[in-house]
Structure 1
Amino acid sequence: MTRCENVWVAAEDASDYAALVAVARDLGACATAVWMGDEQGLDAVRGSGAGAVIHLAGGALVEDGAQVLAQLAAERTPDALLVAPTKRMRLLGACVAARRGACVMSDATSLSVDEEGALRAERMVYGGGAVTVERGVSAFVVAVPCAALLASKAAEAAEAPGAAGDAGASCAVETFAVQPGSSGIRLVERRAREVDAVNLSAARNIVSVGRGFAAEEDLALAYELARAVGAEVGCTRPVAEGSKWMARERYIGVSGAMLTPNLFIAVGVSGQVQHMVGATGAKVVVAVNKDKGAPVFKQADFGIVGDLYDVVPRLVAELER
């Protein structure tokens, strides 16, 4: 066997299923979607291109649904479970893998099947300085594709004629009841968390800011540049988690967003590998830094040596002419 024939996919956002199904198809598999959401989302999941849907209904917590899913996996023996790279889905995958005695491949930049039919995953390690290849040796494997891989597959799925759409009308749905609290964990309270609604992985242009900015209010310069080039704004880890000038969702790097934009503009960014690994897939990298010896220039296609407080306004003025 040189392909996975039966792959299950799971996400908490119905819009992620088309990309996951596309990854499964690349492995030669017929995808079964696992959905833990409401009936409204179920309709969208049915239209994702999956061959069938397993609906886990009634559970409030991922842990509750994981027990049911692990039992189904033991009975039906899928080759692999692919989960979207979100916190709740990582938890789902980890819980199912633990109950099945399976291996987990995390943040894969590519997935393939070798000559023996085992799932192979490539992912970056050592801050992007190397790529490791992991091979699924158990009968059941959980793989977590990275956000950049899903973004590229989402674009392919959107362009592929007849990949989903009306196919959802004939997609079979099996519903399994999940008992709240069956995992031994009880939901006591939910509190809304304020988040910055940004999807850097889907952005075609990015302006990234670093500690070259002296004050939080000065970030307005970066947003002006972003508007001029039609870009989203991201940042280095110290800006998000150190000074807390920007939301955690805008952090780019090893444990943040991994990007494949057309244009990546690094402003006031030193160029440490922990940050720049997030932009290794960028087609064009532009750097603005007053230190001509900054590491960022070694990774840039175009570099401007100068004070960002002088360079950025001049760039914006030229772009808006």
Structure 2
Amino acid sequence: MEKENQTVFPEFVLLGLSGLPELQALLFLVFLMSYITALMGNFFIFSLSLADPALHTPMYFFLRNLSFLEIFYTSVTLPKMLANLISDDKTISLIGCATQMYFLLFLGGTECFLLGVMAYDRYTAICHPLRYSCIMNNTRCTVMAAASWLSGIFMSFGETSVIFIFPFCGSHEINHFFCDIPPVLKLACGDTFLSEVVVFVVALIFITFPFVLILVSYLLIITTIMKMPSAEGRHKAFSTCSSHLVVVTLFYGTGIVMYLRPNSAYSPDIDKLLSLFYTVVTPMLNPIIYSLRNKEVKGALKRVIARKCFLNSGH
């Protein structure tokens, strides 16, 4: 039966942390610095890996894709979060909310598969070093990267559609920083069970499949590393993979808790905290994790600076 006094409205209100007015200015500064750090760090990795020929390898090709993605991923949510912290107007239109959710899912889904592909690349490099250049050729790398992006595009369209087919009535307040699936679906009118099942199944595929691929890849990598006779070789192999494992743990850990738990376990406050990890913390840490103690990145930076200095002195 149709609900009485049902109202359909063209916009939502993003509550965020409006219940803590004394922290708004501090949170604005923290989020702003995080956003700037994420943009600058990912742009640095993207630009450097393009500029230096020594980094034109499969590993840095996928890292370049990841950095490019993270620039836009943070820009989907953080500018609106920043604006809401310093403005009394915390509204977002229905179309704006759907658009934000679409790009959030598109880029998040793409990142899931990119991280899986990067694990496969590391597995090939360590477990099959002699065949590495043959297996990870330019064509195969391009196809895997393109497949990751396309999978994210189609998945996000389907996921967003099953959420916004419903009318929204009653409260129009989203108890979150942005338009994520769980808080928006709670405002939908009608029986949302089928949509919840679709969301769960798609999340299971997009999160579990790459995650299992990563786990299998690293089990094989660790087995191969332990068989290496040289302690220096083992150390180098572990250091190469450790950065990727840190990113995977942060990204998939929060994603699994967010989208693969029962609805009875839904908690707005926990959701807000977890969402900050995969929308703010991970994009900000990615460039730091991948470039910290990375001799290839440091060497590439020195070569690019030396080349620019040489060109300037020549003029």
So what's the TM-score if we normalise by structure 2? Answer: 0.21
Say which structure, 1 or 2, has more relative contact order (CA 8 Å, 6+ apart). Answer: 2
Where is the helix percentage greater, Structure 1 or Structure 2? Answer: 2
Where is the strand percentage greater, Structure 1 or Structure 2? Answer: 1
